[in-house]
Structure 1
Amino acid sequence: MKNFSLPLLILASVLVLHGCASVSVISDYDQDIDFNSYKTYAFYKTGIDRARISDLDKKRILRAIETEMSAKGFTKSDEPDLLVSIFTNERVEVDIYNGGWGYGWGWPGYYGFYGPYAGPGFWGPGFYGNSVSTRTEGALYIDLIDKNKKALTWQGKGVGDLYTGKKIEKKEERIREIVAKIMTQYPPETDSED
């Protein structure tokens, strides 16, 4: 029984780690800006209209940004300090895992008089074939533009695997996760000299 538990534990660990897809985040900003002076924002419709995603996903992203901006103390305004714009990009990644020789759990592969052999499994050498998987990787850029100066003051970028299944709740959850991770970079932490 101990031999059977170890492969299941390893398989479960791999599935859990694969399910927790990470998001890589970077940001850039204008060092001459006092980010504490910004208190209000509005969405920059022209920029958002250019984003190459469905209107439904745009709404999901904008709702997630509203949540994060509100949590940072911003209020939405018709006379904003900042304009928020987004840009998206996606690509399909193909992962190929080459098989090889190794040890693992298996069942003897012969058929007896009463059907497939139903005896105990075994540990031993074997050849494991190639496997191919695809995933969609997306990049979301969030731009914060000083309305009066008409200049980009901050940009955050998040890159991660997108949820491409049928469950809308999981898609919304992934979008919220990506936006929240990007917005952890705002306001930027300025380097202070000692």
Structure 2
Amino acid sequence: MKLLRLLPLAILVTLTSCSSLKVTSDYDTKASFNQYKTFAFYKKGIDKASVSDLDKKRIMRAIEAELLAKGYTKSGKPDVLVSIFTKSRERINVRNNNAGFGWGWGWGWGYNPWFYGYNNINVNQYTEGTLFIDIIDKNNNELVWQGIGSGALRMKSPEKKEERIKQFVKEILAEYPPGQ
């Protein structure tokens, strides 16, 4: 009976661990981020990203929305250029969920995998995507900030893909500009 009560919790933990997003960022400590007010996309960098043109559009729209929400303005004469880079790799999770119950050592009811139990092996294959967002100072053409987000990519529809990309971008750009 206790196992049945724990089953929903185990499913929730499994689902949230697969959907988590790991985010990190790095920046030039000498850069004055408060001077940056305008942005544009760095076409040469974005063209090199190894995702479909549809996904590039989704990523760029999400970045634009986040930067506009932060008070930046899109401009033909920007203070910063925004570039992206992507990577993906196939991942496999193997979980061995063994449980056995019976009389154990010592007094009372205990754990004994040879007496009674079950063996449940879960194999889960998914694509892990990594999105790099680079902010480049336009005046001196130097990278001043980089945000990186990695997480599972499981999209069965364009709408779900768009939502996942928005989530990636929002969490990455939550750390930009640094110190705010």
Indicate the TM-score class for this superposition, using the shorter chain for normalisation. Answer: 0.7 to 0.9
2:110 aligned partner: none
Instruction: Tell me the alpha carbon deviations over residues 117-156 of structure 1, each in whole angstroms, 9 at most, x when there is no partner.
Output: xxxxxxx922314331111111100000011101001000
Partner of 2:176: 186
CA distance in 1, matches of 2:88, 2:94: 19
1:25 partnered with 2:16: no
The Cα shift of 1:45 comes to: 0.5
Structure 1: gaps spanning 5 or more residues: 104-123
1: CA distance between counterparts of 2:168 and 2:54? 16
How many residues end up aligned between the 2 structures?
165
Gaps of 5+ in 2: 102-114
User: Which residue of structure 2 aligns with residue 119 of structure 1?
Assistant: none
CA distance in 2 between counterparts of 1:66 and 1:12 reads 38
Specify the alignment match of 1:176 in structure 2: 166
Larger Rg: 1
- The residue identity in structure 2 corresponding to 1:42 is A
Choose the corresponding residue for 1:89, options 77, 87, 90. 87
In structure 2, relative to structure 1, the CA distance for the partners of 1:99 and 1:186 (3 Å cut) is closer
TM value normalised by structure 1: 0.79
Q: Report the alpha carbon displacement of residue 162 of structure 1 after superposing the two structures with TM.
A: 1.1
Q: How far does residue 15 in structure 1 lie from its aligned partner after superposition?
A: 2.8
What percent of counterpart residues are identical? Answer: 50
C-alpha separation between the residues in 2 aligned to 1:180 and 1:88? 16
Deviations 1:48-73 (A, max 9, x none): 00000111111111111011100110
Q: 2:12 matched to 1:16?
A: yes
Distance 1:18 1:101 in 2: 17
Which has the higher mean CA deviation after the structures are superposed, 14-23 or 165-174? 14-23
